[in-house]
Amino acid sequence: MLLNYKFENYLSFRESVTFSMAAPKTRVKKRYPNNYVSAGQGCDILKSAVIAGENAGGKSNFVSSLQYLRSFFQENKEPEVYRSKINVDNNAQQCWKKCHSLQRFEVEIYIRNIGFYYYHLQLDFAGIVTEKLSYKSHNKKRYTQILSIYREACRLPCAKDERGCPTHGQCETKASANCRVEFSGSIAGMEEVLEMAVNTRRKMGLAVTKLAVLGDEHAINFTDWMRNRLCPLINVFDCGLFQSLENEEDNLRIIQDSRFMDIFRLIDPAVTAVAVDGEKPFSKSYIIRKKEDGKTYFRELSQDSSGIREYFFWAVQIFKVVYEDKIVFADAMDRALNPRLSADIVTLIHTKDHYGQFVFTTHNFLHLNLKIYMKEQINFISKDTKRLASKLYSLAEVPRVRYETAKIYEFYLKGKLGGNVIEQGSTENKENI
């Protein structure tokens, strides 16, 4: 389960941003006994969260940052910063030597029956600056460092240093670096092997993935979580991902599972079954509905409403959360959800016994409800219209919001919860709810 996530200098997020799934340590948890999972010794982790914000505020960029970080674990290449991925204010110069290209990512997770992991990655246009993996078996213990890589020297020769770059697109800056490796794992001699690999073969990916291949238990655990547990999904119906999932056996297996229907029927109780198409389950399957008189009707999924088609896909992801302990970040899922359906889904996730997590983004503030969410589960992303910089904060950080207050939407319309209204004006509104 994700406990904390922090990053900076990624797209519209210039400053450091922290997203937490840690449950509060106050007595308010007694009102929401199903909203969190206990990791022992006073550490409770939230099962769900919602991130609300204006259109173009940065919600997709937030989910994209997780997808970006995850890609380093999936692809065997040297991580490095790309111009298209850093904040625009830090990318003003064509020459890399004049840009602030440093990005930082930090992830803290809990794996059931194993313990806690903390991972830190800093990188710039030249590659990895620092990479660390730490572990502790229990919440109240201190982290023990398993792996650390520090870049000790970075050489940036450029043929045009003396005369400057005459035009854009001609920068010839090349980087080379030396790194120091510290390893305290169970494999003898690994420190020297890693140091040689990092310094002589630059295109071998992250050090933690190298360790996983070589059999280090902690590296295997963390790498497996990043690759197979974390599922950030961005605009799946706009970028073609939906169509690419048609032939995946894993999705077909889920759709054919009887428990899938319990999730899918939340959108339409008249649905009694799904006749699954084995080749194209997301388009050629038939939705079967029954009327009060007992008559049944078949309709091909591709011909059904857009809400049904989209929710059919999202129901698969919810299944993965509840029954496979996946950590799903669903961007723009609210296109398929009304507030009632949203509440039903979150209630299902809360009441089931599992170690998955579900986080979805929305621009519809009607989804925000203190009857089903704790304040720590409600987050906002807003963008400064002058600097075009996004920031993230939870409702728990907004003073004077009481649990008796049910009309969060009205507070938002008055500019008291952030968004463009407050960013153009004064922060006083945020402090006087």
Grouping H, G, I as helix, E, B as strand and the rest as coil, residue 225 is helix
The verdict on residue 407 lying in a domain is no
Instruction: Provide mean pLDDT across the span 194-214.
Output: 75
DSSP secondary structure, 297-327, as one string: EEEEGGGS-HHHHHHHHHHHHHHHHHHH--E
Domain hosting residue 241, numbered range: 236-330
Terminal-to-terminal C-alpha distance of the chain: 33
Contacts for 419 with CB less than 8 Å, ≥ 6 apart: 53, 54, 57, 380, 382, 412
CA distance 342 to 356: 17
What's phi and psi for 220, nearest 5 deg?
A: -65, -45
pTM of the complete model: 0.88
Indicate if 161 and 219 belong to the same structural domain. yes
CA distance 173 to 175: 7
The verdict on residue 394 lying in a domain is no
Please answer whether residues 88 and 94 qualify as being in contact, where contact means their C-beta atoms are separated by less than 8 angstroms: no
Indicate if 18 and 117 belong to the same structural domain. yes
Domain boundary among 214, 232, 250: 232
The verdict on residue 371 lying in a domain is no
pLDDT at 14 over 50: yes
Contacts for 314 with CB less than 8 Å, ≥ 6 apart: 330, 333, 336
The verdict on residue 321 lying in a domain is yes
pLDDT at residue number 176? 64
Indicate if 225 and 325 belong to the same structural domain. no
Indicate if 198 and 304 belong to the same structural domain. no
For 78-126, write each residue's pLDDT tens digit. 787 888 888 877 776 666 667 778 899 999 999 999 999 999 999 988 8
Other Cβ atoms less than 10 A from the Cβ of 265: the count is 15
Instruction: Provide mean pLDDT across the span 346-360.
Output: 97
Which of 158-172, 241-255, 381-395, 399-413 reaches the highest mean pLDDT? 381-395
Domain boundary among 182, 215, 232: 232
pLDDT at residue number 425? 42
Instruction: Provide mean pLDDT across the span 251-257.
Output: 92
Please answer whether residues 199 and 179 qualify as being in contact, where contact means their C-beta atoms are separated by less than 8 angstroms: yes
Q: How many domains does the chain have?
A: 2
- Tokens 């428990």 locate to 259
The verdict on residue 425 lying in a domain is no
Contacts for 248 with CB less than 8 Å, ≥ 6 apart: none
Domain boundary among 232, 254, 270: 232
